[in-house]
């Protein structure tokens, strides 16, 4: 049997699940959008409906190309004088160029600003950070959370109720909660439906936006050819990239793993063929049984 995580990692998992855990998101960067037309313009180039977003709140969304493939995911935070779009750092330059192509007559100005992103996640995150200036809601793991954009060179904010956690713990908890990660579980080769982020990131009532035709067509067709799925496996944790098989045939690959907690199995994310996801046959990974997560 696979040994459980060491005690310090267990404490970090519990902070993220039961209280509040904080860390720097070094792989995220900020695009600031200003101008009188910033909200209506940005609403036309992302998949979520930003119009009802209150100040000091964030909304998860995706950015897709005209032909529907993903260019990045993001949290859009609404401040009084700007929208701050927290995007994958490696994609910021490409996203800036993409956005600028679609500014025509609108009063919109874009800037790659130097803030760093500190996030606090967990059911006590809002209460623990109540006194923090500039915080904005950002539920990254499904239990509530906030992002704080810290000026370059600034220190991480702190509070008695916030436990520092590692990126290892954050990523593993993302996998355990079925929250796919840009650059690990999905990326530029995927559609939003393949990434299994449609429910969180896409509005089908908002009206037109870039790439809408493809996103809607895939949704109406009923499925894509492959999709991320949550799995479990007892025993040894497989490596990322391990083959998922069904009835002796390769049907997918593991994209992310989370160690077992409290005696349970390891949790996995895997990109699998949609036909297999629909039928849910018995699975194996590295010759050992794997199960569909409930």
Q: Is residue 144 pLDDT above 60, yes or no?
A: yes
Q: Is residue 289 pLDDT above 90, yes or no?
A: yes
At 2, is the pLDDT very low, low, confident or very high (cuts 50, 70, 90)?
Answer: low
In this prediction, residue 199 carries a pLDDT of 96
| 63: Cβ contacts below 8 Å, ≥ 6 apart | 45, 46, 47, 70, 71, 72, 73, 74, 87, 95, 98
pLDDT tens track for 118-140: 999 999 999 999 999 989 999 99
Architecture of domain 225-292: Beta Barrel (2.40)
Q: Which of 50-64, 88-102, 218-232 has the lowest mean pLDDT?
A: 218-232
Phi, psi for 19 (deg, rounded to 5): -135, -105
SS3 289: strand
Q: Which of 89-98, 182-191, 198-207, 256-265 has the lowest mean pLDDT?
A: 256-265
SS3 47: coil
% of residues, the chain, pLDDT over 70: 98
Q: What is the average per-residue pLDDT within 168-190?
A: 97
Q: Which of 6-10, 17-21, 237-241 has the lowest mean pLDDT?
A: 6-10
Q: Is residue 3 pLDDT above 70, yes or no?
A: no
Report which of 223, 224, 232, 270 is spatially closest to residue 251, judged by C-alpha positions.
270
Quickly tell me which residue has 């796919």 as its tokens: 180
Architecture of domain 7-176: 2-Layer Sandwich (3.30)
How would you class 218 by CB atoms within 10 Å of its CB: exposed for 0-12, middle for 13-18, buried for 19 or more?
middle
Q: Is residue 62 pLDDT above 80, yes or no?
A: yes
Distance CA 92, CA 117 (A): 14
- 100 vs 64, 95, 96, 97, 215, CA distance in Å? 14, 8, 6, 5, 22
Please give the angle made by the CA atoms of 288, 292 and 294, to the nearest 5 degrees. Answer: 140
In this prediction, residue 6 carries a pLDDT of 66
At 7, is the pLDDT very low, low, confident or very high (cuts 50, 70, 90)?
Answer: low
- Kind and range of the H or E element at 228? strand 226-233
In this prediction, residue 259 carries a pLDDT of 92
Instruction: Share the mean pLDDT of the chain.
Output: 95
In this prediction, residue 223 carries a pLDDT of 76
Distance CA 85, CA 63 (A): 11
Phi, psi for 175 (deg, rounded to 5): -65, -45
DSSP characters over 103-153: -SSS--EEEEE--EEEEEESTTHHHHTTT-TTEEE--SSSS-EEEEEE-TT
Please give the angle made by the CA atoms of 64, 231 and 227, to the nearest 5 degrees. Answer: 25
More confident residue, 4 or 73: 73
Q: How many residues does the chain have?
A: 294
At 1, is the pLDDT very low, low, confident or very high (cuts 50, 70, 90)?
Answer: very low
Q: Is residue 255 pLDDT above 80, yes or no?
A: yes
Q: Is residue 5 pLDDT above 80, yes or no?
A: no
> Could you tell me the residue ranges of all domains in the chain?
7-176, 225-292
Helices and strands: H and E segment counts in the chain: 8, 16
């Amino acid at each position: 049997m696979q040994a459980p995580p060491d005690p310090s990692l267990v404490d970090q998992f519990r902070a993220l699940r039961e209280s509040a855990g904080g860390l720097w998101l070094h792989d995220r960067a900020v695009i600031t959008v200003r101008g009188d037309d910033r909200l209506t313009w940005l609403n036309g180039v992302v998949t979520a409906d930003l119009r009802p977003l209150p100040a000091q709140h964030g909304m998860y969304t995706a950015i897709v190309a005209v032909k529907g493939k993903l260019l990045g995911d993001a949290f859009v935070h609404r401040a009084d004088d700007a929208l701050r779009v927290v995007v994958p750092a490696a994609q910021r330059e490409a996203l800036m160029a993409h956005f600028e192509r679609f500014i025509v007559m609108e009063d919109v100005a874009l800037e790659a600003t130097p803030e760093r992103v500190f996030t606090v996640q967990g059911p006590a995150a809002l209460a623990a950070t109540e006194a923090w200036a500039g915080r904005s809601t950002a539920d990254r793991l499904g239990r509530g959370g906030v992002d704080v954009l810290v000026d370059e060179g600034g220190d991480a904010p702190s509070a008695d109720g916030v436990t520092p956690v590692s990126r290892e713990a954050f990523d593993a908890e993302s996998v355990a909660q079925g929250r796919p990660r840009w650059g690990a579980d999905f990326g530029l080769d995927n559609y939003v439906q393949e990434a299994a982020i449609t429910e969180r990131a896409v509005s089908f009532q908002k009206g037109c936006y870039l790439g809408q035709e493809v996103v809607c067509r895939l949704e109406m067709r009923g499925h894509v050819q492959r999709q991320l799925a949550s799995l479990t496996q007892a025993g040894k944790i497989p490596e990322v990239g391990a083959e998922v098989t069904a009835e002796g045939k390769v049907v997918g690959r593991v994209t992310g793993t989370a160690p077992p907690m409290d005696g349970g199995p390891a949790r996995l994310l895997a990109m699998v063929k949609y036909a297999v996801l629909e039928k849910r046959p018995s699975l194996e990974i590295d010759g050992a049984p794997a199960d569909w997560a409930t």
